[in-house]
Amino acid sequence: MKGNKTIGIMVSLAMATGLLAACSNKPSSEGDNKQGTKVEEVANLNKMGLPIVNQPISLTFFTGKSPTNGSNFEETLIWKEYAKMTNMNIKFDLIPFDALVEKRNLVLAGGDYPDVFYTAKLTPADLTRYGSQGVFVKLNDLIDKYAPNFKQLMDKYPNLKKGLTMPDGNIYSLPSFYDPSFLSLLIGSPMWINNEWLDKLKMSEPKTTEEFYQYLKAVKNTDLNGNGKSDEIPYSGVGTDSLLDQLKGAWGLGTRGLGHKYVDIDPATNQLRFIKTDLKYKELLQYVNKLYADGLVDKEIFTIKSSALYAKGQQNTLGTTIVPNPATVMGQKNFIGLGALKGPGGEHLYANIKVPMVHVGAFAITNKNKYPEASIRWMDHFYSDEGAKFYFMGQKDVTYKETPDGNMEYVSDITKNPQGLTQDQASAKYFTWLGGGYPGFVKEKYFKGSESLPAAIAASKKAEPDAVKEIWNNFNFTEAEIEVMSSVGKDITDYITESEAKFINGTMPFSEWDKYTATVKKMGQDEYMKIYKAAYDRYNTK
């Protein structure tokens, strides 16, 4: 808002009553603070403690919804209780995740947007563009004054602030942030191998890419599920991206984690490296092509959906797969997670680690919001231990019980629902974290998803010695750079994605590798890397 003044905040308590009466019924730029909050609204705010406001207020949130969530957030236990605790009534306008991008773009472009975008997966490009236009409120000062929990996290994890700060120096959003020490959650979906079949084959757990290849061959040639059919599938997953992500560390690629799939740091030169045209990447693709050509990869790998993959797993046909956890999505408890495989050159990096700041734009306040101070206080609670515990676990003796050793477990109504509901289905009337995307702080102590189960924790412990040591958060590009990355950059990435599939399935022979790399260069690889270098330099100076 242009011409805003801060005089309302500076007025003494002795004068407050008269001033509030004078401006209570009409908007006045002289009675607004820098974020557009009227004097009476600031007076209604408690800077610390609960309730957040003395008199109830109402806000509307544009909210992404996963298929596992319920259809009425206001009626879930946590939001009903939090409304009582805060005096803030939130209307969650739910948008299914599969329609989220289209709907989000429409409301932003059309100007019919709400008070807050929540679980809306705003991109850095969205934040840069609409932040510079004033649609999203600058949070720098609000964080300093009203978000002590999040400010403490930024102080503890400097990369968090780097990833949130847009090129203009402003922060426009709060993220979904995973505890960097919660490695199994950062891994998310390990490479799972059928331990029962390993025993039947009298094979040890693979430690190298060659041993992994030999295991897959043995699965293909043996009736391990004992049904008299040759229906064993050595490896299956949804697409080949996850397989490449799991294997690339065996060729020393992906040295800064999964947040940057095209660029990392070359340990030999300590310089930025374009991964997808590197000779080591060619070797990785040749290895996966060999798996495909030998029939060790599911023939439906390029088209299969998650539901179909899970069905195959339930039929006990998989030797290896990449999913969050076979026990939870396939009902198979006979799988163990693999650590880093050693490649032909002796490298054994575990590169399949996500950025702790998973969603940069998980929470953003718009310029239509009359209560930005209260809104950021509302969100800041969930970056505290107390708030995280409440968000994920709910209320003691209602949704969870404490065990004698001090741990927390969901009540049997959730874990062993008498109506036969799955744990996710039973949880949906209490919680809204199912399906991800939410803003907040995720810690192992309170998070009870599949990544916290013993098998997932065991897999992360195997990966830990070889895990990437420095994880880059996202780099944020200027509007001019975004234009290039969304045109030249998109053309490059689309071409690479298409070419990768052809190299793997054999329709593009590796004799055309030089032609492929020359095409990428001609399409603008140098310009792409120049922009990446500028963003990298900004990232390192924040």
Digit-coded pLDDT (tens) for 95-119: 999 999 999 999 999 999 999 999 9
CB-based contacts of 104, cutoff 8 Å, min separation 6: 62, 95, 117, 120, 121, 122, 126
> Across all residues in the chain, what is the average pLDDT?
91
43 has a pLDDT exceeding 90: no
> By the 8 A CB rule, do 128 and 438 touch?
no
How many Å apart are CA 112 and CA 104, to the nearest integer?
10
Q: What is the mean pLDDT of residues 481-504?
A: 97
Residue located via tokens 């030249």: 488
- pLDDT at position 41, please? 63
The CA-CA-CA angle for residues 394, 400, 403, to 5°, reads: 140
Q: What is the pLDDT of residues 326-364, one digit of tens each?
A: 988 898 999 999 999 999 999 999 999 999 999 999 999
Considering Cα of 425, then 429, then 435, then 441, what sign does the dihedral take? negative
> By the 8 A CB rule, do 194 and 319 touch?
yes
In 3D, which of 133, 147, 136, 177 has the Cα closest to residue 47? 147
CB-based contacts of 227, cutoff 8 Å, min separation 6: none
Strands (E), 346-418: 357-365, 400-402, 408-410
Q: What is the pLDDT of residues 129-147, one digit of tens each?
A: 999 999 999 999 999 999 9
Out of 242-246, 423-427, 452-456, 537-541, give the one with best mean pLDDT. 242-246
Lowest mean pLDDT among 374-378, 403-407, 457-461: 403-407
How many Å apart are CA 187 and CA 324, to the nearest integer?
9
CB-based contacts of 514, cutoff 8 Å, min separation 6: none
> By the 8 A CB rule, do 428 and 69 touch?
yes
- pLDDT at position 39, please? 55
Considering Cα of 470, then 476, then 480, then 481, what sign does the dihedral take? positive
Query: For residue 205, what is the DSSP state?
Result: P
pTM for the structure as a whole: 0.83
Q: What is the mean pLDDT of residues 312-334?
A: 93
> By the 8 A CB rule, do 320 and 216 touch?
yes
How many other CB atoms are found less than 10 A from the CB of residue 77? 16
- pLDDT at position 474, please? 87
Considering Cα of 59, then 61, then 65, then 71, what sign does the dihedral take? positive
How many other CB atoms are found less than 10 A from the CB of residue 85? 13
- pLDDT at position 66, please? 92
- pLDDT at position 449, please? 80
Amino acid, res. 243:
L
Q: What is the pLDDT of residues 155-214, one digit of tens each?
A: 999 989 999 999 999 999 999 999 999 999 999 999 999 999 999 999 999 999 999 999
For residue 421, count CB atoms less than 10 angstroms from its CB and return exposed for 0-12, middle for 13-18, buried for 19 or more: middle
Long-range contacts of 478-483 (CB under 8 A, 24+ apart): 478/128, 478/167, 479/128, 479/129, 479/132, 481/167, 481/531, 481/534, 481/535, 482/125, 482/128, 482/129
